[in-house]
């Protein structure tokens, strides 16, 4: 048979158990709300973030193309400058086209 002290101890344990259960239940509910909120925020932000990353990759690719084209433009500008030189024109005419200045004789067979 339970004594009055034993009954009080048992009653206190049961009340303490209910409090712990409520606290655990509130913690689980809070965690579920946090997970749901995070999932919703991630799904709402996914498209803008993905679009930003795609645009950034395209911008980097375009910058690389611009840099390559600027290098080609410098090379072509240098070649234009070289080809506008009368000495270079005479040299190319002589070596590539076997041309000689007026009044000179060609020595090639």
Q: Which domain holds residue 30?
A: 25-97
Instruction: Classify residue 50: in a domain, yes or no.
Output: yes
Angle (deg, nearest 10), helices 4-83 and 86-97: 80
Residue found under tokens 């932000």: 45
Enter the pTM of the model. 0.50
Residue 63 lies in a domain: yes
Count of CB atoms situated within 10 Å of the CB of 88? 13
Tokens (6 digits) for 69: 């084209």
**51-109 pLDDT per residue, tens:** 999 999 999 999 999 999 999 999 999 999 999 999 999 999 988 888 888 877 777 65
Instruction: Look at the chain and report how many structural domains it folds into.
Output: 1
């Amino acid at each position: 048979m339970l004594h009055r002290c034993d009954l009080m101890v048992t009653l206190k344990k049961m009340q303490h158990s209910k409090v712990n259960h409520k606290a655990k239940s509130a913690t689980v509910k809070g965690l579920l709300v946090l997970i749901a909120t995070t999932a919703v925020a991630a799904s709402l932000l996914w498209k803008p973030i993905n679009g930003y990353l795609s645009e950034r990759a395209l911008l980097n690719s375009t910058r690389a193309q611009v840099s390559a084209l600027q290098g080609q433009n410098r090379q072509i500008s240098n070649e234009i400058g070289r080809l506008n030189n009368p000495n270079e024109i005479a040299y190319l005419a002589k070596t590539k086209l076997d041309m000689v200045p007026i009044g000179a004789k060609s020595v090639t067979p």
